[in-house]
């Protein structure tokens, strides 16, 4: 089996060398794209409860509520749970969504009132919150988005290859830790006829989003090492 796999890899390399001379590579500019992506950052103040819960989780790694608990007993879970909390939701130990703070989605609704927008979210609880605030004005179906006046909510990681050019603006309610996903997702408005794409990132003031963005915009991964540095966690697996 190992010998067979080695042979396949060698053959692919040989074939690639033979066909390279017959391939034509175009940049977007070469292909006639003259579009520009304008990124803009907006800051939203969250409710006091959001900052209180984030601080408590950082200090204690555990929060016990009346109906559920939030546990961050590993560095990865701590980073993920803080990422969720700072945008207003969290998945509790029961597996249920805990709605903490709707400030960010209310900010988006007020700022982009009467606009057709595409909203990227990261965690499933955020979709629940978006639907709660937007009600029938939002869809998760691309066909319905393209053929009605409704805006659309899409998980950032599932947007690759999706054409969202019907939207006036692309809004990042939240986003992941991957620089690759950032580059791919922000290009979803682009078409040859569209000269300018307006992309907005909504950061909770004093939270984690801006720290993640500073890494991924340079095509880097936001990882545990950077998280520990940003939040002075030291050894988080205590």
Contact 70, 109 (CB under 8 A): no
- Give the integer Cα–Cα distance in Å for 75 and 136: 38
Report d(CA 171, CA 76) in Å as an integer. 26
Q: In Å, how far from its chain's centre is CA 97?
A: 18
> What does the pLDDT average to over 15-23?
61
Round to whole Å and give the CA distance between 132 and 181: 26
Question: Would you state the pLDDT for residue 28?
Answer: 52
Checking if the pLDDT of 178 tops 90, the result is: yes
Dihedral over Cα of 127, 81, 207, 162: its sign: negative
pLDDT of amino acid 192: 62
- The answer to whether residue 29 scores a pLDDT higher than 70 is no
pTM surpassing 0.75?
A: yes
Q: According to the model, what pLDDT value does residue 122 have?
A: 97
Percent of the residues in the chain that have a pLDDT greater than 70, as a whole number? 82
| Mean pLDDT along residues 58-86 | 96
Percent of the chain beyond pLDDT 90?
74
Reported as a single tens digit per residue, the pLDDT across 180-216 is 999 999 989 876 667 789 999 999 999 999 999 999 9
Residue 67 contacts residue 102 (beta carbons within 8 Å)? no
The pLDDT value given to residue 69 = 97
User: CA-to-CA distance for 88 and 99, rounded, in angstroms?
Assistant: 6
Average pLDDT over residues 12-25: 60
Cα distances (angstroms) measured from residue 100 to each of 7, 48, 51, 91, 92? 55, 10, 11, 11, 11
Rounded to an integer, the average pLDDT of 42-66 is 97
| Distance (Å, whole) CA 138 – CA 85 | 23
**Domains along the chain with CATH numbers:** 36-44+104-216 (3.40.50.300), 48-100 (no CATH)
pLDDT range class, residue 233, cuts 50, 70, 90: confident
Q: How many CA atoms lie within 13 A of 129 on its CB side?
A: 31
The string of pLDDT tens digits covering residues 90-110 is: 999 999 999 999 999 999 999
- What does the alpha-carbon distance between residue 210 and residue 207 come to, in Å, rounded to a whole number? 7
Nearest Cα neighbor of 112 from 53, 186, 199 is 199
Per-residue pLDDT at 195 = 76
Asked if residue 26 has pLDDT above 60, the reply is no
Q: What is the pLDDT of residue 190?
A: 76
């Amino acid at each position: 089996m190992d010998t067979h796999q080695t042979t396949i890899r060698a053959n692919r390399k040989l074939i690639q060398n033979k066909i390279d001379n017959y391939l034509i590579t175009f940049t977007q500019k070469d292909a006639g794209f003259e579009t520009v992506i304008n990124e803009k950052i907006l800051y939203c103040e969250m409710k006091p409860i959001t900052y209180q819960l984030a601080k408590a989780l950082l200090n204690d790694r555990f929060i016990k509520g009346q109906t559920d608990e939030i546990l961050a007993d590993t560095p990865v879970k701590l980073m993920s749970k803080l990422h969720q909390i700072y945008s207003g939701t969290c998945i509790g130990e029961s597996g249920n969504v805990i709605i903490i703070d709707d400030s960010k989605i209310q900010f988006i609704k007020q700022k982009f009132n009467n606009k057709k927008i595409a909203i990227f979210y990261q965690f499933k609880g955020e979709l629940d919150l978006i639907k709660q605030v937007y009600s029938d004005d939002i869809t998760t179906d691309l066909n319905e988005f393209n053929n009605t006046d409704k805006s659309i909510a899409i998980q950032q990681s599932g947007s690759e290859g999706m054409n969202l050019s019907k939207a006036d603006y692309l809004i990042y309610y939240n986003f992941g830790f991957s620089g690759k996903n950032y580059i791919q997702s922000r290009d979803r408005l682009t078409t040859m006829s569209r000269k300018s794409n307006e992309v907005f990132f909504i950061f909770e003031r004093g939270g984690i989003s801006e720290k993640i963005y500073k890494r991924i915009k340079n095509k880097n991964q936001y990882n545990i090492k950077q998280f520990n540095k940003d939040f002075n966690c030291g050894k988080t697996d205590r």
